[in-house]
Amino acid sequence: MFITLEGVEGAGKSTQARMLGQRLEAEGHRVVLIEEPGGTALGQRVREIVKHARQVTLTPRAEVLLFLASRAQLVDSVIRPELLNGSVVICDRFSDSTFAYQCYGRGLDLPSVRRANAFAVGCLVPNLTVLLDVPPECGLLRKPDRQTANWDRYEQEGIDFHRRVRAGYLQLASQEPARWYVVDALQAPTRVGELVLARVKAALHSSSGEV
């Protein structure tokens, strides 16, 4: 099973991904936990460029193509092989981050980016996407480093950008309710984790007969 976690900055994706992975491993599942961009040598280079290389000015189209190159490498070298090996793959961000941030946030044409992304991932779609939904104002307040000068390029975007990203996520989720599971991530992390785990276990049971 391929599970992705999505949400605005500070939604708790990394925390919930780790918690979910630990709980599934404790129940006997082979789990692979990855993040985007990242997971490969190329992905780590792209991550550094798109998030932290402030001396590099990226146009929106250049930015999205870097994400797609990183994603193509990750799918081919990690995600597909692990799925074929029977693993549960948990990914902190995937294609829907590109649609939310670069299309709804930056204003790129969604159908065009969808086509390019489908080529990059070989039409791979997650079995389950968990949207950890928080107002962006609340998510940004959760950042451990309150010095905004130290935030990455996305964290430093204006609040209107982050509001567009959140609205984009909610729109994407409404279009595919069978794939998306939207959770109010303002709840305590342990409660959010319980809800996510219950939904994942239901999906695993439905797809393979396992719990």
Residue 210's pLDDT band (cuts 50, 70, 90): very low
Token pair 């995600």 is found at 79
DSSP symbol at 58: -
pLDDT digits (tens, 9 = 90+) for 39-57: 999 999 999 999 987 778 8
| Phi, psi (rounded to 5 degrees) for 3 | -120, 135
Q: Tell me the C-alpha distance between 110 and 25, whole Å.
A: 36
Map out the domains of the chain as residue ranges.
2-208
- Contact predicate 60/106, CB 8 Å: yes
At 209 the pLDDT is: 40
Each residue's pLDDT tens digit, 92-132: 999 999 999 999 999 999 999 999 999 999 999 999 999 99
Write the CB contacts of 124 (distance below 8 Å, at least 6 apart in sequence). 2, 75, 79, 80
Q: Which CATH class is domain 2-208?
A: alpha beta
Rounded (10°) angle between helices 110-121 and 60-74: 30
pTM: 0.93
Q: Look at residues 117, 131, 102, 194 and name the one whose alpha carbon lies nearest to residue 3.
A: 131
How much is the average pLDDT of 56-72? 95
User: Which amino acid, one-letter code, is at 67?
Assistant: F
Cα distance between residue 201 and residue 198, in whole Å: 5
